Amino acid sequence: MLDKIFKIIDEHFDEMVEIRRYLHQYPEVSFEEYKTAEYIADFYKSLNIPYKKNVGGNGVIATLKGKKPGKTVALRADFDALPIQDEKDVPYKSKNPGAMHACGHDGHTATLLVLAKVMQQYQDELPGTIVFLHQHAEEIPPGGAKDIVQSGKLDHVDAVFGNHLWTLTPFGHIETRKGAFMAGTDRFEITIKGRGGHGAYPHVTKDAIVIGSEVVSQLQNIISRKIDPLKTAVITVGIFEAGTSFNVIAEEAKLTGTVRYLDSDVQQVVRGEMERVVKGICEANGADYELDYFVGYPPLVNHEAETEVVFEAASKVKEIKEAVEVNPQMGGEDFAYYVQEKPGAFFFTGAQKETDNYPHHHPKFDFDERAMPIAAKMLISAYFTYQEKNNK
Active site residues: 80, 138
Q: Report whether 373 contacts 10 (CB < 8 A).
A: yes
Across the chain, the runs of DSSP E, i.e. the strands, are: 51-55, 59-65, 68-78, 127-135, 159-166, 173-176, 179-182, 184-193, 197-198, 233-242, 248-249, 252-261, 288-297, 300-302, 322-325, 344-350
What's the first-to-final CA gap in the chain, in angstroms? 19
Long-range Cβ contacts of 89-92 (<8 Å, 24+ apart): 90/366, 91/21, 92/21, 92/22, 92/24, 92/25
Single-letter amino acid, residue 184: G
CB 208 within 8 Å of CB 194:
yes
Q: Which of 286, 50, 292 is nearest to 187 (CA)?
A: 292
DSSP code of residue 298: P
The bridge status of strand 288-297 relative to strand 68-78 is: unpaired
**Contact, 199 vs 249, CB < 8 A?**
yes
Strand partners, 134: 60, 77
Which among 133, 174, 177, 75 has a CA at the least distance from the CA of 384?
A: 75
Compute the distance between CA of residue 308 and CA of residue 285 in angstroms, rounded to an integer. 55
Confirm if 254 and 239 have CB atoms less than 8 A apart. Answer: yes
The edge-to-edge listing of strands for the beta sheet with 233-242 is 233-242, 252-261, 184-193, 288-297
Contacts of 152 (CB under 8 A, 6+ apart): none
Assign residue 137 a region: left if phi > 0, alpha if psi is -120 to 50, beta otherwise?
left
Distance of CA 119 to the CA centre of its chain: 26
Alpha carbon distance 347, 163 (integer Å): 5
